[in-house]
Amino acid sequence: MAAGLGLRLGLWTRIPAPFGATLRADPGGVCARRAAEQQSVRTACSAASESRHDEKYCLELVRSRDYEGFVASLLLPEEARRSSLALRALNVELAQVKDSVSQKTIGLMRMQFWKTAIEEMYRDEPPKQPVSAELWREKDLEDRAYRNLQELEAYSENTQSTLMYLLLQCLGVKDVHADHAASHIGKAQGIVTCLRATPYHSGRRKVYLPMDICMLHGASQEDFIRGSREQNVRDVVYDIASQAHVHLQHARSFSHSVPAAATAAFLPTVVLEDYLQRVRKVDFDVFHPSLQSRNPLLPIWLYLRSWKKTY
């Protein structure tokens, strides 16, 4: 009778138990709800902990491998700062692929990992990896120099400029003039990065500078590998640096039309201008020791440019 009443009213039930014991049911499922709430809290805490870990990982990676980008990210509005660090962390991870593998096949496997990771992210199934952000490009894993300056510019557009476009999206900026400026700044940054990395690459017997300019001035890859500071090597650097300067000037020609909110994404121009001025002062000797040290005034200059909202 009681068991039948229990089935009808939903207040009592008989469940199998040792020795035939009869237990009282959970009225209204209170215990079940509490257990679910506790599990939800534990899950939320775990997710928050993982989120903080991922954020710290990206921050430390960018700070150690892209210091200028790290400082520039700190000067962004708070709502865009974390996205910027994640994007730059991804950029660092991809940039390290070529230098961290000895075989092209392994490098391609690592690139495929990132492609798959991004695809899974858009399916709301991100992998357990701290750096998961937008992937928009493929990195050339061939160990060869760029055939010409246009090839280097195209590569820079597909890498550095794309990063600029994503930063503009993080800032909520949708403006054609800002996009044009971002394109030129990205190309300038790619060219300058190629120059800055020349001593490092030369030490590993690799040269990536445009072959057409090297041939124009009679500079061989062996000249760069030996760290030559002859005039023909300086002339190569001069031509390449001049093209970066041209892109920087083009980007600044849009400054009166670019929204003020976009200038935060363009802070790397401070770093580009600093390097171009320093390499000019040493007569375009890309191997000069002074170019291997970081300018201690850069954080201050970045802050002032951020405060003025100019680039």
Per-position DSSP letters for 220-248, written without gaps between them:
-HHHHHTT--SHHHHHHHHHHHHHHHHHH
pLDDT at 198: 96
Listed range (34-48, 134-148, 281-295) with the worst mean pLDDT: 34-48
In whole angstroms, what is the distance from residue 90 CA to residue 67 CA? 14
pLDDT at 26: 52
Q: What is the dihedral of CA 152, 153, 154, 158, to 10 degrees?
A: 100
Assigned CATH topology for domain 143-308: Farnesyl Diphosphate Synthase (1.10.600)
What ranges do the domains of the chain cover? 143-308
In whole angstroms, what is the distance from residue 250 CA to residue 244 CA? 10
pLDDT at 219: 96
The residue with greater pLDDT, 12 or 209, is 209
The residue with greater pLDDT, 57 or 42, is 57
The answer to whether residue 72 scores a pLDDT higher than 90 is no
pLDDT tens per residue across span 12-29? 344 444 444 443 455 555
Beta-carbon contacts of residue 4 (< 8 Å; ≥ 6 apart) = none
The answer to whether residue 194 scores a pLDDT higher than 70 is yes
pLDDT tens per residue across span 266-296? 999 999 999 999 999 999 999 999 999 889 9
The residue with greater pLDDT, 220 or 73, is 220
Question: Which residue, 84, 106, 81, 85, is CA-closest to 96?
Answer: 106
Mean of the pLDDT values across residues 231-250?
Answer: 98
Mean of the pLDDT values across residues 102-106?
Answer: 77
> Is the separation of the CB atoms in 118 and 135 below 8 Å?
yes
> Is the separation of the CB atoms in 183 and 247 below 8 Å?
no
